[in-house]
Amino acid sequence: MLRIDQKTLHGYALAVATAMTLGIAMVPAQPALAQPAAAARGLPDFTDLVDQVGPAVVNIRTTERVTPGESATGMDEEMREFFKRFGVPIPNIPKQQSPQRRNQQPEEQPRGVGSGFILSSDGFVMTNAHVVDGADEVIVTLTDKREFKAKIIGADKRSDVAVVKIDATGLPAVKMGDVNRLKVGEWVIAIGSPFGLDNTVTAGIVSAKQRDTGDYLPLIQTDVAVNPGNSGGPLINMRGEVVGINSQIYSRSGGFMGISFAIPIDEAIRVSDQLRASGRVTRGRIGVQIEQVSKDVAESLGMAKAQGALVRGVEVGSPAEKAGIEAGDVITKFDGKAVEKTVDLPRLVGNTKPGTKANVTVFRRGQTREFPITIAEIDPDEKAAASKNAPGAVKPKASAAAEQLGLIVAELTDAQRKELKLKGGVRVTEVTEAAARAGLREGDVILSVANTEVHSVKEFDAVIAKADKSKPINVLYRRGEWAQYALIRPSR
């Protein structure tokens, strides 16, 4: 506790009285505060950027034809945009229509709102595919309040990039930046029409790069405020260059929560060039189904670290099958480029022109092998083939070794091998305990155990008997048209 003697207290009282008599306010002395570093350097000034880029940013409104008295969605345009952007199915609200209006002609109604930016002075505008998806009419408004009906040149849902064209010339166009020069922590701004409020400017920093939120595009993460209506607008660096298209936000409420995502402009330009040339985007495919290489899978395969893309299955007649790639292979390189993560492969293959010849490097049973392959074109309406199990048969008795894995297996008949186009394998007739926990089912066909191919029940039992039961045992099995790995932890 602080103590003050009587003499000091009397002295202080006298000083206060004197000061009050003279009309002087006494203020306790304060230590000098150091100037903040940000104040010394100065905060960024975005005014020049807004003046430079703002005129090239446009507002985009879409309409749809509906019969008077009915609504296609039953919600306002901002809420509709929110549902579409976050991949949430738009509620199927029954259309309300009065009897007297059933014979009336359809009319245009507001459908959505978004943003875009001018690519070239002759009227090409880039935006998000979800902004114009399903629209009957697209209206582009410039900063000088001129309005144009736009023609949709093309839209690519996989990348969420679209290009529209307005009939105008001499327009201000944006400058494109180099995404490779973009650094985490760098200041960026967004210009768009959140909730229909034209030319709204928000600022923040790049929070991260290469965020894996989609199959074909690694996105730029920022903390720039982005809301419904900002979609399709530009993300701009401090040099006044567009480095991305604002496309997504992370939200639990529908509003901005500090995390937004932008499509890298270099990827968007590749897509837009194809859309302007042909109205569509072509991507390569090799016909494999893949999954992540987990630490357990990597260890069981004898890989030094978990990397690459594990081939779960190979499509019949696909480029991968013709090249010799098999289910259970781990693709580590495509055309000389490393496949570090599973998502790397579809991006590398997708960006390869169909008909191109490339080399695929795989890790197979402890060895690295290379296969030449010819890239095919991806089917836009590609659907997974329906799976079917192998026919059943009389269930044999399990060996003691197989029982530890919870498996009973049987020989494949010649007819079954021919139907499944297999050279070997054994058919699972019963699954319990360890194997069931690993995800195997009756009807699966086991192709290899502990990195060793099996062609008969005898070979299967021999491999199991030699396997180290204290460690997980990897099993490659076929289910319908696809094959995948499982790690079975033997019961003790």
What Rg value do the Cα atoms of the chain yield, rounded?
Answer: 32
Q: For residues 348 and 337, is the Cβ–Cβ distance under 8 A? A: yes
Is 45 an active-site residue? no
Q: Across 273-388, where does the E strand assignment appear?
A: 284-285, 288-292, 309-314, 330-334, 337-338, 357-364, 367-374, 376-377
Residue 253 known to bind ligand:
no
If 0-12 CB within 10 Å is exposed, 13-18 middle and 19+ buried, where does residue 191 land? buried
Q: Which helix (H) or strand (E) holds 247?
A: strand 241-249
Query: Which of 115, 159, 160, 198 is an active site residue?
Result: 160
CA distance 402 to 434: 10
Q: How many CB atoms lie within 10 A of CB 252?
A: 6
CA distance 410 to 442: 11
Counting every residue written for the chain, the total comes to 492
Residue 329 known to bind ligand:
no
Residue 69 known to bind ligand:
no
Residue 214 known to bind ligand:
no
Q: Across 107-214, where does the E strand assignment appear?
A: 107-118, 124-127, 137-141, 147-156, 161-165, 175-176, 187-192, 200-212
Query: Which of 115, 130, 344, 444 is an active site residue?
Result: 130
Residue 448 known to bind ligand:
no
Q: Where are the alpha helices (DSSP H) in 137-211?
A: none
Query: Which of 231, 260, 272, 399 is an active site residue?
Result: 231
Is 130 an active-site residue? yes
- Catalytic residue ranges: 130, 160, 231
Annotated binding-site residue numbers for substrate: 130, 160, 229-231
Annotated binding-site residue numbers: 130, 160, 229-231
